[in-house]
Homo-oligomer: A and B are copies of this chain.
Amino acid sequence: MTAKSHKNWTDDVADLLRVRDGFVLSGVDPRSTPGYDGDKDDGKDDLSSGAADFEDYQERLFAASQSETTSGSVLLVLQAMDSAGKGGIVRHVVGAGNPQGVDVTAFKKPTEEELEHDFLWRIAKHRPGPGRIAVFDRSHYEDVLVAKVRELAGPDEIERRYDAINEFEKTLFEAGTRIVKVMLHISYEEQRDRLMARLDRGEKQWKFTPGDVDERVLWPHYMSAYQTVFDRTSTLYAPWHVVPADRKWYARLAVQNLLLQALDDIDPQWPDADYDIAREKARLAAS
């Protein structure tokens, strides 16, 4: 299924970008725009009409949960190398929703307290409640990405975590959460340009830390760790999608479409009144 509000898709983007058996990350071109037969201007138009649909779906989801018609919720997991555009997704895609029903959590380096618990402890606390849309800006996947590349945990522990993640996500899925896992995939060259642009602009310099370059030089190790993540944790109930992200407009449109599909899958309905409408009208008119 393709979002109705997006006119220029030639194919089902969820299907095209989904990580299946045999998926090879290095085979994805970060500048490509799979399934989309339009340019940047078309993409802007489609994003804008998709935003209206997103808002509408979200309100229905929220309404349905208030009346316990659905326990559905959506969890968007965003993973990427620095500067790939996670912030832009939050702002331009998720930002179209009503802040009343959206929870964004940016997971940073774990605190002392968090490190005393299992890695999923801090994650589970931020899973979406019924009717809500939660966004993880970085996530439990850092615990098998940076943790692996930087050897913050031993190989046995990393192994254990893939299974723990699958179990955890299965539990969420069974409780009614649609999990949309996205890796924004930029090229090594594009990252250099974007980090350089941050260094060039006074109001962007706060987004840069010298650690960004330290991570960058480990690029091949990160790509390898991502490949293993895809091999081990792209499940039927929580598949990964690798979204080419050198073109920001495409990445935003693709993620919006994935979210719209998840919402359409829940298909939340306006709840019926659980009171006598005529009686309440009469009471109200008399007041």
Contact = CB atoms under 8 A, between A and B. Distances in A.
Contacts of A213: 280, 283-284, 287
A99 interface: yes
A87 B66 CA distance: 15
Given A99-B99, A102-B99, A137-B100, A280 B94 contact: no
Interface stretch (A2-10, A13-21, A116-124, A198-206): A198-206
A280 B99 contact: no
A196 B285 contact: yes
A273 B207 CA distance: 9
A267 B145 CA distance: 38
Contacts of A192: 284-285, 287
B100 A199 contact: no
A63 interface: yes
A75 interface: no
A232 to B, nearest CB: 29
Copies held by the complex: 2
Nearest to A202: B270
A165 to B, nearest CB: 24
Nearest to A213: B283
A171 interface: no
A196 B281 contact: yes
Contacts of A284: 192, 195-196, 199, 213, 216
A209 interface: yes
Interface string A259-279: 000000000001111010100
Given A196-B284, A280-B213, A272 B205 contact: yes
Contact of A100 (B91, B100, B271): B91
Contacts of A216: 284, 287
B100 A208 contact: no
Contacts of A273: 205-206, 208
A102 to B, nearest CB: 5
A110 interface: no
A210 interface: yes
Interface-central residue, A60, A66, A99, by most chain B CB under 10 Å: A99
Contacts of A210: 275, 280, 283
A104 B100 contact: yes
A3 B287 CA distance: 40
8 contacts: A91-B98, A91-B100, A99-B99, A100-B137, A192-B285, A196-B284, A199-B277, A203-B270
Given A195-B284, A213-B283, 12 more contacts: A63-B203, A67-B206, A90-B98, A90-B100, A99-B135, A196-B285, A199-B284, A205-B270, A209-B275, A210-B280, A210-B283, A213-B280
